[in-house]
C-alpha cells in the first residue's frame, strides 16, 4: 500500500514539473509535505485511497505535535488538496477528501508599540532649531497624537485641518472620510511649522499639501520613513520603528488610559471592530502584569492564616 503511495507521489511531482510547471520552490515544498504525509500513513497503517475526515483531523494533530507552524500546516493541506485532485482526475480516488478541510486560523501577530520611556527618548532627541527639524518634530507629534497611517499623513492638505479646534479631516482606506484630533503639543509645532518653517522649505514652490520635503515638493511616505529611521538612530533605540509603530502606540496608549474600543476604532479608521480588538490583547497583558506585581495576596508571605 505504501509503495503505491510512493509511486503516486512521484507521478504527481513529475506532473507538477512537466505539465503544470510549478516553481522549483513550490515543488520542493510539496514534495516534502507529501513525504511527511507518507510517514503518517505508514505509521498509522491507513489506506490513503480511503482516508476519512477523522483520520485527516488526526493527521493535522500529528503535524501540530511536530510543532509545525500554522502557515506550514496550511501549505501542507494545499499540497494534499492538489495531490488528491490529481488522483481524482486520474480516477484513482472517487473524492478529493481534502477539499472540505479548512486551513487552521492564522496566529494574530500582536502589533509593535513603543514603551513610554522609548517614546520619551524620541521626543527628547528631537531638536527644533532648523526648519527641517521643526517639520520632523511635527511629523512625530502628529503620528503619535492622531494614529494616522503614513499615507494619510502625507496627504493632509492645507484646507484639511482646523488649527483652533485641533482637528484634521482625513481620507482613509476605501476613500472613507473621518475626523481625527490632536493635542496641544501637536498644535504648538503645527503653528510653528506653518509660520516659520514651511515658507522656507517651500523655496518659492507652490503646494496644497502640509508636509514638504527639502526640495520644496510634497513629502512622500518613503520620505517620512527615512526621517523616522534617522530620528530613531539619533535616539539610540536599537529596534526598527516604522510610522505604523507610532499608530500602534497611539491606539495602545488610548486604551490604557481609558478610551473605549469603539472610539479608538473610529479614530483609527478601522472598518471592523475586530481589527481594533487586537490592541486589547496588549492592554490586557499590561493589566495582568500590573496585577501580578501589585496585588498583595499574590504571594504566600501575605497569607496571615498560615
Q: What is the mean pLDDT of residues 248-276?
A: 90
Can you tell me the distance from the alpha carbon of 40 to that of 277, in angstroms, rounded to the nearest whole number? 38
Q: Which listed residue (42, 169, 217, 244) is catalytic?
A: 244
β-bridge mates for residue 162, sequence order:
167
Q: Is 185 a catalytic residue?
A: no
Q: What is the mean pLDDT of residues 265-284?
A: 83
Q: What is the mean pLDDT of residues 163-177?
A: 91
Please name each of the domains of the chain with its CATH number. 2-89 (1.10.150.130), 116-292 (1.10.443.10)
Residue 83: how many other CB atoms lie within 10 Å: 25
Which grid cell is 148? 494616522
Give ∠ CA 223-224-225 in degrees, rounded to 5.
Answer: 90
Name the percent of the chain lying above pLDDT 70.
90
Q: Which listed residue (82, 198, 248, 270) is catalytic?
A: 270
120 Ramachandran zone, left/alpha/beta (phi>0; psi -120 to 50)? alpha
Q: Is 244 a catalytic residue?
A: yes
Following DSSP, what letter does each residue of 272-285 receive, concatenated?
SHHHHTHHHHHHHH
Please tell me the chain's helix, strand, coil percentages from 3-state DSSP, rounded to the nearest 5: 65, 5, 30
Can you tell me the distance from the alpha carbon of 1 to that of 46, in angstroms, rounded to the nearest whole number? 9
Under the banding of pLDDT at 50, 70 and 90, the label for residue 257 is: confident
The tens digit of pLDDT for each residue in 107-130 reads 666 678 899 999 999 999 999 999
Q: Which listed residue (149, 189, 193, 198) is catalytic?
A: 149
Q: Which listed residue (53, 69, 127, 173) is catalytic?
A: 173
Q: Which listed residue (75, 82, 247, 248) is catalytic?
A: 247
What's the confidence (pLDDT) of residue 301? 46
Average pLDDT, the chain: 88
Q: Which listed residue (17, 279, 291, 297) is catalytic?
A: 279
Can you tell me the distance from the alpha carbon of 185 to that of 163, in angstroms, rounded to the nearest whole number? 12
- CB within 8 A of 4, min separation 6: which ones? none
β-bridge mates for residue 161, sequence order:
168
Which grid cell is 187? 498644535
The tens digit of pLDDT for each residue in 42-99 reads 999 999 998 888 999 999 999 989 988 888 999 999 999 999 999 999 999 888 889 8
What's the confidence (pLDDT) of residue 302? 46
Residue 226: how many other CB atoms lie within 10 Å: 13
Can you tell me the distance from the alpha carbon of 163 to that of 233, in angstroms, rounded to the nearest whole number? 31
Cβ burial, residue 128 (10 Å; 0-12/13-18/19+): middle
Q: Is 149 a catalytic residue?
A: yes
What's the confidence (pLDDT) of residue 150? 95
Show the 3-state SS of 94-121. CCCCCCCCCCCCCCCCCCCCCCHHHHHH
Q: Is 262 a catalytic residue?
A: no
What's the confidence (pLDDT) of residue 275? 82
What's the confidence (pLDDT) of residue 76? 92
Can you tell me the distance from the alpha carbon of 275 to that of 265, in angstroms, rounded to the nearest whole number? 8
The tens digit of pLDDT for each residue in 1-31 reads 556 898 999 999 999 988 888 888 889 999 9
Under the banding of pLDDT at 50, 70 and 90, the label for residue 298 is: low
Which grid cell is 288? 495582568
Q: Is 301 a catalytic residue?
A: no
Residue among 25, 27, 28, 31 nearest 17 (CA) = 27
Q: Is 94 a catalytic residue?
A: no
Amino acid at each position: 500500500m505504501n509503495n503505491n503511495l510512493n509511486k503516486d507521489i512521484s507521478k504527481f511531482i513529475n506532473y507538477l514539473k512537466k505539465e503544470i510547471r510549478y516553481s522549483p520552490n513550490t515543488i520542493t515544498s510539496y514534495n516534502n509535505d507529501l513525504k511527511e504525509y507518507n510517514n503518517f500513513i505508514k505509521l498509522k497503517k491507513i489506506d490513503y485511497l480511503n482516508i476519512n475526515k477523522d483520520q485527516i483531523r488526526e493527521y493535522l494533530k500529528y503535524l501540530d505535535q511536530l510543532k509545525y507552524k500554522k502557515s506550514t500546516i496550511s501549505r501542507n493541506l494545499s499540497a494534499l488538496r492538489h495531490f488528491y485532485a490529481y488522483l481524482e482526475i486520474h480516477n484513482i480516488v472517487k473524492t478529493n477528501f481534502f477539499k472540505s478541510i479548512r486551513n487552521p486560523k492564522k496566529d494574530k501577530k500582536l502589533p509593535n508599540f513603543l514603551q513610554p520611556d522609548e517614546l520619551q527618548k524620541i521626543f527628547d532627541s528631537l531638536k527644533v532649531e532648523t526648519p527641517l527639524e521643526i517639520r520632523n518634530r511635527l511629523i512625530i507629534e502628529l503620528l503619535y497624537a492622531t494614529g494616522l497611517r503614513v499615507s494619510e499623513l502625507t496627504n493632509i492638505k492645507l484646507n484639511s485641518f482646523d488649527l483652533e479646534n485641533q482637528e484634521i479631516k482625513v481620507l482613509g482606506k476605501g476613500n472613507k472620510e473621518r475626523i481625527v484630533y490632536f493635542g496641544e503639543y501637536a498644535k504648538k509645532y503645527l503653528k510653528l511649522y506653518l509660520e516659520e518653517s514651511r515658507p522656507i522649505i517651500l523655496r518659492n514652490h507652490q503646494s496644497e499639501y502640509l508636509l514638504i520635503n527639502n526640495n520644496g515638493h510634497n513629502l512622500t511616505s518613503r520620505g517620512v520613513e527615512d526621517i523616522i529611521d534617522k530620528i530613531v538612530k539619533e535616539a539610540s533605540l536599537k529596534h526598527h520603528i516604522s510610522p505604523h509603530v507610532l499608530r500602534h502606540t497611539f491606539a495602545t496608549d488610548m486604551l490604557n488610559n481609558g478610551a473605549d474600543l469603539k472610539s479608538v476604532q473610529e479614530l483609527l479608521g478601522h472598518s471592523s471592530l475586530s481589527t481594533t480588538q487586537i490592541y486589547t490583547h496588549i492592554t490586557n497583558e499590561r493589566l495582568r502584569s500590573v496585577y501580578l506585581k501589585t496585588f498583595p495576596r499574590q504571594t504566600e508571605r501575605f497569607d496571615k492564616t498560615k
